[in-house]
Copies of this chain bind each other. A is one copy, B any other.
Amino acid sequence: MKKAEATRMTILQKAFELIYVKGYQATSVDDIIATTQVTKGAFYYHFKTKDEMGIAIINEILKPTLTNSFIQPLQNEQNPLDGIYNLMYDLLMKNEFLKVEYGCPASNFTQEMTPWNADFNKVLNELTQQWTEVMTATIEKGKKNGFIRKDVNAKQVTMFIMSGYWGIRNFGKLENSKKVYLSYLKQLKNYLNSLK
C-alpha cells in the first residue's frame, strides 16, 4: 500500500504542474501519463475520471499548500497590517512555487471551471473560504489590539485585498514581468495604512 500511494501522488503532482502551465482542459490525460511515465491502466485505477483527479488536485495539493503559504504566516505576525503586506510580498516576489507567467493556480481554476462545473465550484469555494476566514479573523484581531480602526469592515477589506491579489496575478501573466507586482504592493501598503 506504499508504492501505490506514491504513484497516486506522482500523478497529482505532475498533473498539477501541467495544468498550472497549460490549463485544465488543455491538459489531456495522455499528456499526464506521458510525463508521469504512468500507464493508462494505472491512472484509471487511481481515478475514476479526469475530473475526479482534478478535484483531488485541489483538495490534496492546493489546499495543503495554501494552508502553509497563506494561513500560517498570517497567524504568526502580531501586527495584522504588516502580516498581510509581508504575506503578499512573499507570495508575489519570493515564492518560487508560483511563476509570474502562469498566475495563481486557484484563480486559474476558478476562472476556467467555475461557470460550468458544480463539483469544481464547490471545492474551490471551500479553498477560498479557508483563506477568507483566516484573513478576516486576522483583521478582527487587529481591531481589538488597536492596530486597525474599529469601523473597518473586515470581510470587505479581505475581499478587496484578495481581489487585488488575483487580479495582479492575471496582469503578471499578461506582462510576463514582476514589475506590475511592485505597483500592486506599493498601493496595497497605502491602502493598508488607510485602515490604521
Q: Which A residues lie at the B interface, using CB under 8 A?
A: 21-23, 25-26, 101-103, 107-108, 110-112, 114-116, 121, 124-125, 128, 153, 155-157, 159-160, 162-168, 170-171, 173-175, 180, 183-184, 186-188, 190-191, 194
Contacts and interface: CB of A to CB of B under 8 A. Distances in A.
A115 B183 CA distance: 21
B128 A186 contact: no
B188 A111 contact: no
Contact of A111 (B107, B159, B186): B107
Contacts of A162: 167, 171
B184 A160 contact: yes
A159 B173 contact: no
A25 to B, nearest CB: 5
B166 A171 contact: yes
A175 B166 CA distance: 15
**Which of A108, A160, A184 gathers most chain B CB within 10 Å?**
A160
Contact of A167 (B23, B112, B164): B164
Contacts of A21: 115-116
A101 B111 CA distance: 10
Contact of A110 (B115, B164, B173, B191): B173
A28 to B, nearest CB: 11
A156 to B, nearest CB: 4
Contact of A159 (B25, B121, B187, B194): B187
A114 to B, nearest CB: 5
Contacts of A183: 153, 155-156, 159-160
Given A156-B187, A159-B168, A166-B167, 5 more contacts: A21-B116, A103-B115, A159-B184, A162-B171, A163-B165
